[in-house]
Amino acid sequence: MQVRQFLLVGMLCALSYFGWAQSALTGTITGTVRAASGGVLPGIHIRLDSLNKATVTEADGGFRFSNLTPGTYVLTGSGVSFITNRQTVSVRAGETSTCVLMLNEAVQTVDEVAVTGQATTQDIRKRAFAVEAIDALPLQNRNVDMNRLLDRTMGVQVRETGGMGSDFTYSIQGLSGKAVKFFIDGVPMESFGSSYRINNVPINLVDRIEVYKGVVPVELAGDALGGAVNLITRRDVASYLDASYSIGSFGTHRGALSGRWRQAKTGFTTNAHLFYNASKNNYPVWGRTIEIAGPDGRPLPDVGRLRRFNDDYQSANARLEVGFTNVRWADRLLLALTVTDLERGIQTGRTMAFVYGEVRYRERLVMPSLTFAKKDLFIRGLNVDAFASLNSLQGTTVDTSSRKYNWRGEVIASNVRGELGGIRAQRSLYTFDDRTALAGVNFAYQPADGHRFILNALHNQTRRTGSDALAIADWTIPFRLPQQLSKQIMGLSYELNLLDARLTNTVFVKYYRYAAQANAYDYNGGAQRELLINRQQQGVWGFGLASTYQLHPRTRLKLSAESATRLPDALELLGDGNTILNAPGLQPEQSMNANASVQYRLSRTNSSWNIASGLFFRHTNNLIWLGEADLFGTARYENLNRIQTLGVETEVQYRYRNWLRLTANATYQDIRNKLRYTAAGAPNHVFNDRLRNTPYLLANAEISLTKADLFWKGALASCYVGTHYVPEYFLGWPSLGAKATKRVIPTQFVQDIGAEFTAPNRRYVVGVDCRNLLDQQVYDNYLLQKPGRFISLKVRYFLSQSSSSNVK
């Protein structure tokens, strides 16, 4: 470890020396963008016409271009609802030139809005990290949830256990589960509960989605091992009102209401977000394990399609923020209160062989929080972002029924003692109460042009207590006593720009520490079961680098690598109180991740091509993995040693004018078990096998058409067709058992279509979507069928103080 630290310090010193030497030979442009009617303008796209360089103004309207060769440059500023303007600026060696760029308000055309929406995502893709950026603004009129949207992203797979509100896991380039972390505006979402998860956040609230693969920058404070998803909320308008409602198959309803009001004189700001999701989830299921017993106890043949009957879901979320934005002493100071409420039925265990008729789950969350951000705090070039929250999360699993059900919803026994646990079922009314403290701070300091330091620290502590009002079920015994998990993560990075910012290098170190106490109820070498308390703590260092080089105005090369650690989270370590058991002995997982890619962009007068292709490598120890279900429908997380991944991914995007867009991507991942010998020293029979229960190929494609001035001048109509493909893969290890008897997750080949119409004033939108058009039997997990054909209708109203054109 000392050798690694010395190497890292040496790299930092060498890069600093070369960077400081270069800065004396170049100049800098800094400026502010203001509206002609007064006030600074954040989110404006600024471009240097003679160079392939662009940026976006920050909260105070400021921007900066560094490491510029002395000479004369033309700045171009453009933004939604503003007329494009240009200004000439002269640059001298070793000096900083300042300017103020004024923009006049105007109602933008459809073409201008679409181009502006792409500018920010293109800037994100130019970062040295392996990152995808999804512009959410053109998708806000679709009835699409985040899981389905991200499942179409190159290198990403989202696996769901059922319909709305079901459990899901993300896989990014082969690493899955909790190895992928979720953020909203840079704040970790892992302690926000089941209701305020990424899949429930309305797309209307989101400006863009950033997907980091493998290597994650330190400013996203967390122990992500395989990647991270960061939702960036809308900040493009000062005041607005956005309301939408959709209704769909299987009794599905989604409603969202959000708004912002800001007083220009004082900067006082109020943000409010309300969203509601509900579904009966009574979609048909059929085939294997959907069985009905006859009078003789044997399964009846040809029972046909049967509907899920205890899978309903509803959640309500409310968030209110009050404070100040874009004032002299703070860019953002907001006090928020988040309240969520969730209730759902539990229809099955880990497979559909276990069917439950009355098991319920309820959850409540109350979370006050505070965020603060300030650019140039105390000294020029020092930016700070900080947040803190305290939450109370309470979840209750109700399993008090004396009846047992079959797949028709019929009572087949009336003398059981609860439904969970099969033959060992015992009635329970288990409630857990989590108290979580979350705090983080991010410092970004730019002492000179081309140099930037980032220091980030995060503290996350969860204490869980439990109770069972019935106190009958043995399985709740370890959950009744306190369990706790504490994590601290720190990161430091240094970024250096060279060769007129065509070459960007970032090196970083991270430190992970955790302490945990978990309980188990098991045999301890004797004949009687007893309560066992497991305590563990550990500290681990990680390090990495990321580089990008603009080889040609159309071509960019990227390389990134990281030695990463991921700590067990509360669900994995402590269980969920129903179908996932606790795992007191779980160890942190570690992985060496590397990515190399090339991006090519070709723009013509009427068309453009974006082509990206990359290679990725992962070598993972102690992979945290949800084991196979037992005979009672429960499972627990476990560690798998020495998993190696090699893969390749490619995506092609084509755009013709503003009426045709085509996207196609494919990811091949070869994930294998590289453990030669077991812990006992015996040869490992599954050495070099593909990782079980994991697909090796993912493919997606979509074509969309847009027509302006349809029926009425100023109206806008669009439609799309998309497809998704995953070939068949084995549930278990491929080398074990005969192929004819292996359990498989079948091939998935699903098509989606949709259309939307925007009124001439751009305030009213109506959209129709159909998922799984051909009503295929689809699975992401073994014997857990997902919904078939799903049709929905969405209506939306958007009103902005500046311009209604922001709706598209």
DSSP three-state, residue 230: strand
**Separation CA 696–CA 218 (nearest Å):** 30
**pTM for this entry:** 0.81
Please give the span between the terminal C-alpha atoms of the chain, in angstroms, as a whole number.
Answer: 52
How many residues in the chain? 808
At residue 803, the pLDDT reads 35
**Residue 617: closest CA among 634, 592, 599:** 592
Show the tokens assigned to 165.
């509100």
- In this predicted structure, the answer to whether residue 509 has a pLDDT above a threshold of 90 is yes
- In this predicted structure, the answer to whether residue 593 has a pLDDT above a threshold of 90 is yes
Q: What residue type is assigned to position 11 of the chain?
A: M
Q: Are 356 and 369 in contact (CB under 8 A)?
A: no
**Separation CA 610–CA 126 (nearest Å):** 13
- In this predicted structure, the answer to whether residue 337 has a pLDDT above a threshold of 60 is yes
Q: Which helix (H) or strand (E) segment is 455 a member of?
A: strand 451-468
At residue 407, the pLDDT reads 94
Q: Which pLDDT band, with edges at 50, 70 and 90, does 483 fall under?
A: confident
Residue with tokens 């120890």: 621
**Residue 315: closest CA among 287, 274, 349, 266:** 274
Give strand pairing partners of 398: 360, 429
In the sheet that holds 27-35, the strands lie side by side as 62-68, 27-35, 96-103
**Residue 325: closest CA among 409, 268, 255:** 268
**Residue 571: closest CA among 483, 641, 631:** 483
At residue 423, the pLDDT reads 66
Q: Are 306 and 291 in contact (CB under 8 A)?
A: no
Show the tokens assigned to 246.
């959709």
Q: Are 367 and 389 in contact (CB under 8 A)?
A: yes
Q: Which pLDDT band, with edges at 50, 70 and 90, does 52 fall under?
A: low
Burial of 630 (0-12, 13-18, 19+ CB in 10 A): middle
**Residue 88: closest CA among 166, 147, 138, 29:** 29
Q: Are 268 and 324 in contact (CB under 8 A)?
A: yes
Whole-number Cα distances in Å, 352 to 89, 228, 287, 631, 741? 67, 31, 10, 12, 19
- For 95-106, write each residue's pLDDT tens digit: 888 888 888 764
- Torsion of Cα atoms, 705 then 137 then 215 then 538, to 10°: -140
Q: Which pLDDT band, with edges at 50, 70 and 90, does 524 fall under?
A: low
Show the tokens assigned to 402.
């004396």
Q: Which pLDDT band, with edges at 50, 70 and 90, does 92 fall under?
A: confident
Three-point CA angle 193, 195, 568, nearest 5°: 30
**Ordered structural domains, the chain, with CATH:** 2-106 (2.60.40.10), 113-807 (2.40.170.20)
Distance of CA 107 to the CA centre of its chain: 33
Q: Are 141 and 147 in contact (CB under 8 A)?
A: no
pLDDT averaged over the chain? 85
- For 652-711, write each residue's pLDDT tens digit: 999 998 889 999 999 999 999 998 887 678 888 899 999 989 999 999 999 999 998 888
Provide mean pLDDT across the span 620-638.
76
At residue 16, the pLDDT reads 43
Identify the top-confidence range among 163-177, 472-486, 792-806.
Answer: 163-177
- For 192-220, write each residue's pLDDT tens digit: 888 889 999 998 888 889 999 989 999 98
- In this predicted structure, the answer to whether residue 22 has a pLDDT above a threshold of 60 is no
Q: Are 782 and 776 in contact (CB under 8 A)?
A: no
Q: Which pLDDT band, with edges at 50, 70 and 90, does 367 fall under?
A: very high
Sign of the C-alpha dihedral, residues 295, 299, 301, 305? positive
Higher pLDDT, 321 or 117: 321
In 715-789, DSSP assigns E strands to 716-726, 729-730, 744-745, 748-758, 764-771, 779-781, 784-785
At residue 39, the pLDDT reads 67
Q: Which pLDDT band, with edges at 50, 70 and 90, does 115 fall under?
A: very low
Give strand pairing partners of 706: 718
Rg (C-alpha) for the chain, rounded Å, is: 27
Q: Which pLDDT band, with edges at 50, 70 and 90, does 718 fall under?
A: very high
Provide mean pLDDT across the span 2-19.
42
Higher pLDDT, 25 or 389: 389
Kindly give, in sequence order, each residue whose CB lies less than 8 Å from that of residue 21, ignoring residues fewer than 6 positions away: none
- In this predicted structure, the answer to whether residue 421 has a pLDDT above a threshold of 90 is no
In 36-179, DSSP assigns E strands to 45-48, 53-56, 62-68, 71-79, 82-91, 96-103, 131-135, 156-160, 168-172, 175-176
3-state helix, strand, coil in the chain (%, to 5): 10, 55, 35
Show the tokens assigned to 41.
């303008």
Show the tokens assigned to 389.
């929250």
**Separation CA 593–CA 617 (nearest Å):** 6
At residue 408, the pLDDT reads 93
Distance of CA 791 to the CA centre of its chain: 25
Provide mean pLDDT across the span 146-166.
93
Provide mean pLDDT across the span 84-88.
82
At residue 353, the pLDDT reads 85
At residue 801, the pLDDT reads 62
Give strand pairing partners of 31: 63, 99
At residue 8, the pLDDT reads 43
Residue with tokens 């959907």: 290
Q: Is 185 left (phi over 0), alpha (psi -120 to 50) or beta?
A: left
- The region of weakest confidence among 222-226, 748-752, 768-772, 804-808 is 804-808
At residue 491, the pLDDT reads 95
Rounded percentage of the chain residues whose pLDDT exceeds 70 = 89
**Residue 103: closest CA among 170, 54, 57, 156:** 57
